[in-house]
A and B are shown apart, each in its own frame.
Chain A
Amino acid sequence: MLRKKVPRLLQVFKRTSHCDRQQYDVIVVGGGHAGTEAAAAAARVGARTLLVTQKIQTIGALSCNPSLGGIGKGHLVKEVDALDGVCGRAGDWAGIHFSILNRRKGPAVWGPRAQLDRQLYREFIQSDLLSTPRLTVWEGSVEELMVEEPNPEKPGRHQVTGIRLGTPISARSVVLTTGTFLSGSLFVGQTSSPGGRIGDAPSSAGLSHTIRERLGLRTGRLRTGTPPRVVKNSVDVSLAKLHPADLNPTPFSFINTQTRCKPEEQLPCYLTFTTPAVERVVRENLHLNCHIQQDTKGPRYCPSIESRVLRFPGRQHQVWLEPEGLTSDLLYPQGLSTTMPPDVQLRLLREIPALHKAEIHTPGYGVQYDFVCPTQLSPALQVKSTQGLFLAGQINGTTGYEEAAAQGLVAGLNAARSALAMPTVMLSRTESYIGVLIDDLVSRGVTEPYRMFTSRAEFRASLRPDNADLRLTLKGFEELGCVSSERYKEAVRVRDTLQDAMAALQSLSALPHIWKQKLPNIEISENKSGELTCMNLLLYNDVTIEMLASVFPESLSPYMEFSQRLKIEAVYRPHCDLQKREMARIQREETMLLPEDLDYFSLPVSLSQEVREILDRVRPTTLGAATRLEGMTPAATVNLLNYVRFSNRKNKIHNMCLRT
C-alpha cells in the first residue's frame, strides 16, 4: 500500500563529532540515489548499517532533473522496486505527472516515467531510511578510508576496515557512493570552484588520495551539467505546447495500486523550441566558457545546449519546461544544460519565445569529477584488489538517478552479504537490466558517462517492465535475502495466478467459425484448420483478455486483475522461448568463475601473448565476461574453459567468492 513512514526524532541524526569508536557491518558513504538504496538494501539483508552523509537534509535530493524513470531507466526503477528498493515507492509518493513513454511501441520498451516534487521525494526517502531497522544515519564528512593488510585467505592486495570521521569507525564493508564529489569542480563561465553540487561543501581530499595513491585504483575524469532553474511566474507558457500527464497514473511499485497524486491533481509539462538566436548567443560567447572547451568526456545523450547547437547547427532543439513540485515556484528547462556565465545564460534563455521574460533563480553549471574505472570491480561491485570496498553510482562512470539506484542496491546487498560471511551475488544480463548495466560496466568499462538504453539489452523481449517482479522478487527473497516476506508472498501469488491463467488460455479453444461469431470485429483467418485456443487469439492485435472473458466468463473472470499482463505474456512468450537457449548458454558461462588472482602470464595453457595481456588488464570474473572481451578468440575461450573446468574440479575449496 502507498504509505510514508513516520520519521523518528531528528536528533538520531545529529551525531557529528563525538562518536565513540564503533563497529558496524556496513558503512555507506553518500546519501544520493546510490547511497540510499545501498544503505536500505544492506539493512534489509540484516547488516548493522551506518549511512554517512555531509548534510542530512540533502539525502534523497534530486540534484538535476525533477523526474524519475523513462525509456530503459523505467526498467531499472521497476527492477529496483522488485528487489524491495526505495526509489519506486518514493516516485509513487512524490510523482506529480505520470506517463508511460513509448506506449505505442510495444510493452518491452514502455518507459514508465514521472515528474517529481523535489521536496516530497526527499521527505519520503528520509523518512523511509529513518524507519528502516538496523540503519543509522550520521552527518559528517569522511576524511579517509582505513586501509590495512589484506586477509591472506582471500584475494586482494588491501583491506578496507572502516572510515575516519574525526575518530575511526570500523566496518566489515564500506560502500562509496560519492557521486560527483570525488575531486569535483564546478564550472560557470570562466570561473571554477571545488565541489560536487552547488551549495554543498567539497568532499575531503583524503578520500581521493586513498583511492588513487593508497589503493592504486585507476581513475578518469568525466563531466556533466545542469540547466538554470527558471522562475515559474516569469514564463509565458501560453507560447509553449501543453503536454498533459496520463489520465490514469501508473505507479512504479509493484506493491502500489495507485499514486499519492490524484489523476486530476497532476501538473502538466510544456514543450518549446530553441531559435536561431540561441545558436548565435552560444557561438558569440564560446570564449567565455571554459567547461565546454576542455576535452573531458561529457555524455553524448545529455549534452549541454552548447554542444547541441555546435554538433547539429541550424536546427530547432526541443526544450521541455517541467514542474519542480506542487508548491514550487520554479520550472526546470530540460535540454538547456549550460555552463555559460550567468548573464549570457539569461540572454540565451530569453531568445526562446516562451522564456522571453524569464528570470533565472539559480544559474546552470557544469561539474567535472573523478570516476574509478569500473573494470576494476567485480560483478558484485566490489573493488577486486581491495577486500571490503564496494562502489556504486557516478563514481563508477554512470549517469542518472536510476543507474545509481540500481548499482547502490547491488553494492549494498553485497557489502552486507560479505560482512555477514555470505557469498556475494551477481545479477545476470539474461535476467535484468541491472545485470546488463553492471556487466557492461565491469567488463567493458566506460569512455563517457554510461546511461541505460533498451538497445543495450540483448534479451529485451524477455526483460520487460511488466515482469520485473517475476524475474527478481522471487530470487530476491529466496537467494539474495533483500526482499521482505510480504512482498515475496505477493509475488508468489502473482506468479501462480499468471501460470494458472496461461494454462487456462491454452486449454480454452473453439473452432474458427465459432470465434468469428463471438468476436465479429476480429478478422480471424479462415484457412486455419482445427480449433484455435485463447492463446492463439491473443496474438491478434485487437484481441483483449476482456473479449475472451466475454466468451468464457466463468473460466477467465478470476484473472481479470492481470488482463494487461496476460496479453503481454501471450504475445511475447514465443519470442522469449526462442531466446532461452542463448540465455542458458550465457548463464552457464557466467557460473564458470575465473579466480581473481589468476596469473594469466604464467597460466599453463595455450594462449597468445595478446590474449594474456587483455585478460590480465581486465581480469574478467567469469568465463562469460571473458568471451565478451574484444580480442578474445574462440580458441582462447576453449583453452580457458578447460582450465576452469579442470582446476575447479581439482580444487573446489580454494574457490572464489562469487557463487550464483
Chain B
Amino acid sequence: MHRLSCRHSSSLDGASVGMADADTIFALSSGHGRCGVAVVRVSGPASPTALSCMAGFRRGLMPPPRTAVLRSITDPHSNEVLDRGLVLWFPGPHSFSGEDSVEFHIHGGPAVITSVLQALGSVPGVRPAEAGEFTRRAFQAGKLDLTEVEGLGDLIHAETEAQRRQALRQMSGDLGRLYQAWSHRMKRCLAHVEAFIDFSEDELIDDGILTEVDRTVAQLQAEMEQHLKDERRGERLRTGVQVVIAGATNAGKSSLLNTLCQRPAAIVSPIPGTTRDVVDTALDIGGFPVLLSDTAGLRDSSDLVEREGIRRAVERLEQADLTLMVVDCSHIPADVQPAASFLREHLHKLMPSDQCLLVLNKTDLIADSQREKLAVGLQSVPGLPPFCLISCQTHQGLTDFLTALHSRVKTLCGNPLSGSPTLTQARHRTHLQRSVAALAQYQRYRDADLALAAEGVRLALTCLGRITGRVGAEEILDIIFKDFCIGK
C-alpha cells in the first residue's frame, strides 16, 4: 500500500514542506576557484533558525549582532560536524538585504562548501537563492542607492545568463534528460488529475486514469528518492570556467590549445578541418580552474563527420563562459578600417557569446610593421571585443595574451554563480527534495480531497520546474485536450 490515509497523521506539518516560495534564501557569496575562505549568506525570517541549528546556538540565544564568532558547523539532521568556521548574525534591517541575515565563513574546499550548502537546504523554510534574488531583496528593502540600482538589471542579466549556460551544460547531459523525463511524467499526471477535476462529471473520463496517476506518482517518488540517495548522482559535472576556442578552419585553434597546455593535446596540421571533435583539457590559469575546449573549425561542410563536429562546436559555443575567437591575421585586410569591418563580419558570422576575446594568430606570417599598425589601429575601433596579436609558432605576444586571459577568467570566477557546480548541485538537490515531499501531499489527500492532492502534484512540478523550466497552466490544458475528448 503506497497510499497514506489522512487519519494516520494529525497535523498538517507534513504538507507544508515543499512550498515553492518559502522565503529564506542562501547562496555562496564568494567566488569559486582556489580560495581559503568561502562565505555563505543566508537572508530571510528563518536565518536565525539556520544559525541556531547549524552553529549550536540555543533558540533565543543568538551571538552578538555583527560580531564574528568561531563555531563548529554541523548538519542539523545528522549532527555531523562539517567544518569549523566564523559565523555572523545580522538582525534586520541592519544587513545587506534589510532582512535578518547570517553569514557562514567556512573553509574554501569544494567538499566543505557542498556539505554546508546541502545542510542549509535541509533547514525548513530555507532554499537556495534564485539569480539576483539577494540584490532584488536589498533593492526592495531600499538598501541600494540609485547608482547601484541602475546596475542591478545588468547584474541580474549576467547572473541569469551564467545560470542559463550552466543549465544548458547540464541539461544536455544524462542528468538533464532524467529531470526532463520526470517533469514530463509529472506534467501528464497533473493534466490527468486536472482533467478529472474539471471534466469528469460531464464527460467520459474513466476513473482508471487516477489509478494510473497513483502508480506514476508512486514510481516518481521512488525514483527521485533513490536518485537523492545516490551519491554518485549519475554524472560528473564539468567543473571550472568553460573557455571555448572557436574560429574558421585552419586559423590555428588547436595550436593555441597546445600552446596553452604546453603539450600536444590536439593534432595540428595545415589541412583545414583536422579537428573534428571537441577536445577538452582541464587547465589551471592563475589559480582558477578552466576547462578549455578546442572545437572543429566553423565552415559549411558536406562531410558528415565534420558536420557533426561543427554541430558539437556550436553547441559548446552556446554553453561557453568565454570564447577565444581565433582569426588568421594573414587573412585580415592591411588597412585598419577594412580590417575592422572584416573582423566584425567574421564575428557576426560565427556568433560568439558576448564574452569573447579575439585572438589574432599567426603574426609570424605578417610584417612587424603591419602587426604594429593593427595593434594600434584596432584599439580605437568601437564595437570590437578585446583582442590580442599572437603567434603560436614563435610565442610572440603570448605573455600579453595570458595576462588578458587571466584577468577575464578571474572576473568570471568572481561571479559566484558562473560555472559553480557545487551551488548548482545544492540548488538541484533542494528542489528535488521539495518536489518529492510535494508528491507525498498527493498521496496524503488522494482520497479525501482531490483538489489538495492536485495541489501537491502542481507544487512538485513547480519545484522541478525550477531546474527544468516553468510549466504554465496553458501547457496543462493542452495535454488535457490532446488526451481527452472534452465536449460538454
Q: What is the interface of chain A, defined by CB distance below 8 A to chain B?
A: 70-72, 101-102, 104-109, 111, 300-303, 305, 307-308, 311-312, 315-318, 320, 334-335, 444, 453-456, 458, 460-461, 522-525, 528, 532, 536, 539-541, 571-572, 574-575, 578, 581-582, 585, 605-606, 633-636, 638-639, 642, 646
B22 contacts A581, CB within 8 Å? yes
26 A-B pairs whose Cβ atoms sit less than 8 Å apart in the complex: A104-B450, A106-B448, A108-B451, A109-B197, A109-B198, A301-B199, A301-B481, A307-B487, A444-B474, A454-B451, A455-B197, A455-B454, A456-B473, A523-B7, A525-B9, A536-B10, A540-B7, A578-B16, A582-B20, A585-B21, A605-B153, A634-B131, A634-B160, A635-B132, A638-B136, A638-B156
Q: Is B8 on the interface with A (CB-CB < 8 A)?
A: yes
Is B202 engaged at the interface, CB distance under 8 Å to the other chain? Answer: yes
Neighbour of B449 across the interface among A523, A524, A571, A639, CB < 8 A: A571
| B446 → A minimal CB distance (Å) | 11
Interface size bracket, B side: 35 or more
- How many Å from the CB of A566 to the closest CB on chain B? 16
Whether the Cβ atoms of A302 and B197 lie closer than 8 Å is: no
Q: For B160, give the chain A residue with the smallest CB separation.
A: A634
Contact A634–B197 (Cβ < 8 Å): no
Proximity string of chain B (51-70) to chain A, C-beta cutoff 8 Å, 1 when within and 0 when not: 00000000000000000000
The residue that A454 contacts in the complex, of B7, B20, B136, B198, with Cβ under 8 A, is: B198
Q: Decide yes or no whether B476 CB sits under 8 A from chain A.
A: yes
Cβ contact within 8 Å between A575 and B11 = no
Residues of chain B in range 6-53 having any CB-CB distance to chain A below 8 Å: 6-12, 15-16, 19-23
Contact B477 A108 (CB under 8 A): no
Please determine whether B451 and A105 come into contact, CB atoms closer than 8 angstroms.
Answer: yes
Find out whether the CB atom of B156 lies under 8 angstroms from the CB atom of A634: yes
A300-B481, A461-B452 given; A71·B197 CB < 8 A: yes
Closest to B197 in A: A109
B175 at the interface (CB under 8 A from A): no
**B485 cross-chain contacts in A, Cβ below 8 A:** 308, 311-312, 315, 317
Q: Does B230 contact A (CB under 8 A)?
A: no
Query: With a CB–CB cut-off of 8 A, which chain A residues contact B455?
Result: 460-461, 575
Q: Assuming A308-B485, A335-B487, A642-B150, what are 19 further A-B pairs, CB within 8 angstroms?
A: A71-B201, A106-B453, A108-B449, A300-B486, A316-B204, A317-B487, A335-B488, A455-B454, A455-B477, A525-B9, A528-B11, A536-B11, A539-B11, A539-B12, A540-B7, A578-B19, A581-B21, A605-B153, A638-B156
- What residues of B have a CB within 8 angstroms of the CB of A532 in the complex? 10
Q: Which 5 interchain pairs have the tightest Cβ spacing?
A: A106-B449, A106-B451, A635-B157, A312-B485, A639-B153
Chain B residues whose C-beta falls within 8 Å of the C-beta of A111 in the assembled complex: 201
Any A CB within 8 A of the CB of B203: yes
Q: Tell which of B12, B20, B152 has the most Cβ of chain A within 10 Å.
A: B12
| Residues from chain A with Cβ under 8 Å of B15 in the complex | 574-575
**Chain B, Cβ-Cβ closest to A313:** B485
Partner of A606, one of B11, B153, B450, B452: B153
Least distance between A319 CB and chain B CB atoms (Å): 10
Q: Are A109 and B451 in contact (CB under 8 A)?
A: yes
Contact A302 B488 (CB under 8 A): yes
Contacts of A307 in B (CB 8 A): 487
> At the interface, is chain B mostly helix, strand, loop or mixed?
helix
A383→B473 CA distance, assembly (Å): 26
Task: For residue B358, give the distance in angstroms from its CB to the closest CB of chain A.
Answer: 24
The complex places the Cα of A300 from the Cα of B486 at a distance, in Å, of: 7
B488–A105 contact, CB under 8 A?
A: no
Choice from A102, A108, A317, A524 contacting B452 with Cβ under 8 Å: A108
Q: How far is the CA of A83 from the CA of B476 in the complex (A)?
A: 31
Residues of B bordering A, CB below 8 Å: 5-12, 15-16, 19-23, 131-132, 136, 139, 146, 149-150, 152-154, 156-157, 160, 194, 196-199, 201-204, 445, 448-455, 473-474, 476-477, 480-481, 485-488
Q: How far is the CA of A29 from the CA of B272 in the complex (A)?
A: 74
Q: How far is the CA of A307 from the CA of B196 in the complex (A)?
A: 21
* CB-based contact B157/A72 at 8 Å: no
Q: Complex Cα distance A252/B216, Å?
A: 38
Docked pose: A635 CA to B156 CA in angstroms: 5
Q: Are B7 and A455 in contact, CB atoms less than 8 angstroms apart?
A: no
Instruction: Decide if A455 touches B198 in the complex (CB within 8 Å).
Output: yes
* A638 & B153 in contact (Cβ 8 Å cutoff): yes
- Report yes or no: A105 in contact with B449, Cβ–Cβ below 8 A: yes
Contacts of A461 in B (CB 8 A): 451-452, 455
Bound Cα distance A147, B455 (Å):
48
Q: In the assembly, what is the distance between CA of A101 and CA of B5, in Å?
A: 24
Min CB distance A510 to B, Å, is 13
Judge whether B153 and A106 touch: CB under 8 Å.
no
Which one, B21, B136, B452, B488, contacts A301 given CB within 8 A?
A: B488
Query: Shortest beta-carbon distance, B451 to chain A, in Å?
Result: 4
**Chain A residue at minimal CB-CB distance from B155:** A635
B487 and A308 contacting across the interface, CB-CB below 8 Å: yes
Q: Residue of A at shortest CB range from B21? A: A582
Residues of B within 8 A of A578 (CB): 16, 19, 22
Chain A residues, CB < 8 A from B201: 71, 101-102, 111
Using A105-B449, A453-B477 as known contacts, say yes or no to A635 and B16 having CB atoms under 8 A apart.
no
Chain A residues with CB under 8 A of B160: 633-635
**A635 contacts across to B, CB distance below 8 A:** 132, 153-154, 156-157, 160
Q: Name the distance in Å between B53's Cβ and chain A's nearest Cβ.
A: 21
- Report chain B residues within 8 Å CB of A524: 10
B199 / chain A contacts, CB cutoff of 8 Å:
71, 301
Most chain B beta carbons < 10 A, residue from A301, A307, A461, A574: A301
> How near does chain B come to A526, taking the closest CB pair, in angstroms?
10
Measured between alpha carbons, how far is A536 from B11 in the docked complex, in Å? 6
Is there an interface contact between A540 and B136, defined as CB atoms closer than 8 Å? no
Neighbouring A residues of B150 by C-beta, 8 Å = 642
Q: In whole Å, how far is B22's beta carbon from the nearest beta carbon of chain A?
A: 7
Q: Which of A109, A318, A525, A575 contacts B202 (CB 8 A)?
A: A318
Least distance between A66 CB and chain B CB atoms (Å):
13
Kindly list chain B residues whose C-beta atoms are within 8 Å of the C-beta of A70: 202, 488
| Residues of chain A contacted by B486 (CB below 8 angstroms) | 300-301, 303
Chain A residues, Cβ within 8 Å of B10: 524-525, 528, 532, 536, 539-540
Q: Is the CB of A574 within 8 A of B473?
A: no
Please report the C-alpha to C-alpha distance between residue A633 and residue B10 in the assembled complex, in whole angstroms: 43
A635 to B427, CA, bound (A): 21
Q: Which residues from B are CB-within-8-Å of A539?
A: 6, 10-12
The chain B residue with its CB closest to the CB of A71 is B198
- A540–B451 Cα distance when bound, in Å, is 16
Once bound together, how far apart are the Cα atoms of A458 and B111, in whole Å?
A: 39
Q: Which of B20, B139, B150, B197 has the largest count of A CB atoms less than 10 A from its CB?
A: B197
- A455 to B472 alpha-carbon distance, docked (Å): 10
**Nearest CB to that of B9 among chain A residues?**
A525
CB pair A574 B488 closer than 8 Å: no
The distance in angstroms between the C-alpha atoms of A639 and B157, with both chains bound, is 10
Q: Assuming the A-B contacts A300-B486, A525-B9, A642-B152, are A634 and B16 also in contact, with contact meaning beta carbons closer than 8 angstroms in the complex?
A: no
- A317 contacts across to B, CB distance below 8 A: 204, 485, 487
Known: A71-B198, A106-B451, A461-B452. A318 touches B152 (CB 8 A): no
Bound Cα distance from A621 to B309, whole angstroms: 48
Residues A575 and B198 in contact, CB atoms below 8 Å apart: no
Give the distance in Å from the alpha carbon of A574 to the alpha carbon of B13 in the complex.
9
